Amino acid sequence: MKNFLTTSLFLICIYCNGQRLVFKPHNDSPWSLDFSGYVQADVIVDNKKLTYIDGYYPTYMESNQTDYNTYITMRQTLVGVGINNNDAGLRGYVEFNFIGPNNQTQFNLRKIYLTYKNWLIGQDWSTLNDLGTWPNLLDFNGPNAALYARRIQIKYLEKISSKIEYAFSLEDPNTPSLTLPENDFMWKKNQIFPNVVGAFKYGAKSYIRGAAILSPISYKRNLNLSNDMQKMQTTLGYGIHASSLLYTNALSNFKLVAAAGSGIATNVISFWEEGYDAVVDPNNPTRLQKLPVYSGVAAYEHWWNNRWSSVLFYSYSNVGKGKYMEKNQYKTIQHFGINTIYQPTSYFKTGFDFTYGFVDRYQVSTTFESARLQLSTAFIF
């Protein structure tokens, strides 16, 4: 047994690649195993009680009454494991954290996919997203008007040059989030057609990017109230997403995002799975009405030196029209944030985020507002 362990240690080559810990069975092998992620501890102080702790959602206020609460959590801790064959252009990847439902500490699968050369199949960030415009924040959710969602998908990505790339994907047909009434029409959501997403990016360090989505919304209902014969219908949701990363100098940049569409609200963090892609048309109770959605994010990121950085951002999102919306449904969400982070090495960072959010609802004159202070420390590997 001792000889086996000694031999194994000689056969395994361990080295650091950026912030990935990579294991190889031996130097000539095409296979390698890598680990990445971070261990993060958070101290969170809210001035209103929120039903969700681990990321800031101003929409998750239990009431508009001041009610200070403090939480200490490490659920944002994230681990990624990859297995690679560089000769074949093959990679498998699994990523998880510990953010469970109802603010519980549970295993939570975030990503799981296989890539072969330019192809990806599995669960990863939607092609609609632009990860390059995510500000350097400690909060798990970030600007609520951003479009960031993970989808099961088949994706093709082609890099034509150092400045030009494009991507297409077919994504989870269960993406649309609907508000269906409970009545004798027996409404039921159908999962038939996948979302179709395309994106084009131009630039290198500074760049512009455009993406578009077609999101078929399929559902069934009884033809009338006198029988249970059902009819299937499909309406097409659609949207565009424009983003840009603009460096003003080596230490400062702007990250800009804008999106608009109809029937795609669940792709916006503010309205994720809230049933705002489509609702029953009050003028025709036998059909669904897609809801318009608009969102935008502007963030300024500045590095004071190679260790200290700050971010200032504003995000805005709006969904629906008054004639389609019921009382208390979300209308407009505004979200501000500022932070400072100290990162003396690539393996350690600490700092604070301060965020403040406003929520306006349909047929309600009161504006709901809340604030959060988050202090975090992370060890990155």
Tens of pLDDT along 124-156?
A: 999 999 999 999 999 999 999 999 999 999 999
How sure is the predictor about 14, in pLDDT bands with cuts at 50, 70 and 90? very low
Please determine, for residue 57, whether its predicted confidence score (pLDDT) is greater than 80. yes
Cβ atoms of 268 and 175 closer than 8 Å: no
CA-CA distance, 312 to 300, in Å (whole number)? 5
Residue type, 88: A
First vs last Cα of the chain: how many Å apart? 31
**pLDDT value, residue 139:** 95
**pLDDT value, residue 223:** 73
CA-CA distance, 247 to 98, in Å (whole number)? 34
CA-CA distance, 277 to 58, in Å (whole number)? 20
How sure is the predictor about 311, in pLDDT bands with cuts at 50, 70 and 90? very high
**pLDDT value, residue 225:** 63
Q: Which domains does the chain have, with CATH numbers?
A: 2-380 (2.40.160.10)
Question: What average pLDDT does the structure give for the chain?
Answer: 91
**CA triple 98-104-106, angle to 5 deg:** 35
Cβ atoms of 138 and 352 closer than 8 Å: yes
The secondary element (H helix, E strand) that includes residue 4 is helix 2-11
pLDDT, one tens digit per residue, over 182-192 is 776 788 899 99
List, as one string, the DSSP characters of 282-312: TTEEEEEEE-EEEEEEEEEEEESSSSEEEEE
Q: Which tokens hold the place of 322?
A: 């008054």
Q: Which tokens hold the place of 59?
A: 């929409």
pLDDT, one tens digit per residue, over 82-129 is 999 988 999 999 999 999 988 999 999 999 999 999 999 999 999 999
Q: pLDDT over 90 for what percent of the chain?
A: 81
**pLDDT value, residue 23:** 79
CB atoms within 10 A of CB 9: 9
List, as one string, the DSSP characters of 44-76: EEESS-BS--SS--GGGBS-SS---EEEEE-TT
How sure is the predictor about 226, in pLDDT bands with cuts at 50, 70 and 90? low
pLDDT mean over 202-224: 93
**pLDDT value, residue 222:** 81
